[in-house]
Amino acid sequence: MNFRHVWIVFKKEVKDIARDKKTLLTNLLVPIILMPLLFYVMGGSFEKMEKDISENVTVALSADSDTEEIRNLVENEIFASNPNIKFRGVVDDPIQAVRNNEVRFVIDVDKNFAESLEKEKPYTITIIYDQTDSKSSSSYGILAEAISRYNEKIVLERLKSRNIDVQMLEPVRILQSNAADEKAGGNMMIMMMIPMLISVLIAVGGIPAATDLVAGEKERGTFEPLLTTQSGRMSILLGKYLTVTLFSVVSVIAQFIGLVIGAVMSPQFFAMGGDGESMSFSIPPVALILSILITITLGMVFAALQLAVSTYAKSFKEAQTYLSFFVIIAMVPAYATMMMQPDDIRMYMFVVPLLNAIASLKMVLGNVINYANLGIALASSLVYVAISLCFAASLFNKEKVLFRS
């Protein structure tokens, strides 16, 4: 192996890819534009949905409850304190009204409620709504809270009329105290999104380059002449390998640029699960460097495996078919661990390929730093780089694999 030849092959492959404007557009410019647009749309949708849930709580009375006393109870007593609860009159068929989205809730009140109230006996208010509708289920708490406040008001009035201290109803008060480090936990949405995005993008970012650099050259008839040059096969393989790795990393960088632009444009999307005010958190420089190195080594593992698959494939389309499975391979652990918190990460995850990168990123972003685990993740990743590269080299040196018919 000659490092000068490796450099020559690397420069040649990078120039070839740089000339392909379609590939550059798809893998570099599109993510920078698409990511901000995606987060802007998603952030706006979430904000609109939350506003609709809290500010558009529509309620109607059933026809059986349509009396002046009950109307006064509902409009002026129970729901008067919450302007977001909007009374929409009376409906003849409560079930149909809810199913047709005429209103979110229909309430049915005992007709003899006034008599029960006077005798200090309980009466029933039935809330009819669609429990399969996410907006209705989320708004239910607002309606139930309004009824609960009215309930408490009646109880307090009865106690005062008997000169009973209202504190007797609350022998124990519950106070919350957060024991977590202010820096720990970071932002939930960031811890969910970034490890998932990076693991998937680093796995698929080099696919276009890997497909073209071996299978594509076979199809164009330029691969055989390349093997007859002074450069040895290992020099050619390493030159192509570095190109695929570079392309993977650059693709992720492009996605991150889009991610940062998206965060600036739609901070409300990333604020979900956090304090809703900011996304700022601090990461120790050493931990950040280690997590970046682990991510790069993950890209190097995938680059070697993608080159091996491209070497085995007879044509460009066959390589694309095989390499499409890398998307699934990356997505399964990424989505399986998406909701996992830094404290839930187990030791074995730092030695499992792909999981080690996800676990490291979650730990660093959550500011739960364990340098021993980061070191184990980096060491195991380097071992996987060596194994995957040896596997790619073994296929690259077999004539029956390179030129199989």
Q: Is a pLDDT exceeding 90 seen at residue 210?
A: no
Highest mean pLDDT among 131-135, 198-202, 293-297: 293-297
pLDDT, one tens digit per residue, over 344-383 is 888 888 999 888 888 888 888 877 888 999 999 999 999 9
Which tokens go with 354?
A: 């792909």
Higher pLDDT, 258 or 241: 241
Question: At 332, is the secondary structure helix, strand, or coil?
Answer: helix
Question: How many Cβ atoms from other residues are within 10 Å of residue 261's Cβ?
Answer: 17
Q: Which of 111-120, 168-177, 277-286 has the highest mean pLDDT?
A: 111-120
pLDDT tens figures, 305-357:
999 998 888 888 888 888 888 888 888 888 888 888 887 888 888 999 888 88
> Which residues of 75-145 form beta strands (DSSP E)?
85-91, 105-109, 125-128
- Residue 387 has a pLDDT of 94
| pLDDT value at residue 186 | 45
Most confident of 13-27, 96-110, 241-255: 96-110
In terms of Cβ atoms closer than 10 Å to its own Cβ (0-12, 13-18, 19+), residue 401 is middle
Nearest Cα neighbor of 105 from 125, 83, 82 is 125
CA 235 – CA 253 distance, rounded (Å): 27
Band the pLDDT of 204: cuts 50, 70, 90.
Answer: confident
pTM attached to this predicted model = 0.68
Give the whole-number percent of the chain exceeding pLDDT 90: 8
- Number of Cβ within a 10 Å radius of residue 236: 24
Q: Which two tokens stand for residue 124?
A: 């029933």
Contact of 127 with 104, CB cutoff 8 Å = no
- Helix, strand, coil percent content, the chain, rounded in steps of 5: 70, 5, 25
Task: Give the largest Cα separation in the chain, rounded.
Answer: 103
Q: 240-255: per-residue pLDDT in tens?
A: 999 988 888 887 788 7
Alpha-carbon distance 340 to 350, whole Å?
14
What is the pLDDT of the chain when averaged over all its residues? 81
Other Cβ atoms closer than 10 A to 282: 9
- With a CB cutoff of 8 Å and minimum separation 6, the contacts of 24 are 17, 18
CB 98 within 8 A of CB 128: yes
What is the pLDDT, as a whole number, of residue 181? 57
Per-domain residue ranges of the chain: 3-44+186-402, 54-169
User: Quick one: pLDDT at residue 136?
Assistant: 84
Domain 54-169 has CATH 3.40.1710.10: yes
Nearest to 214 by CA among 373, 13, 356: 13
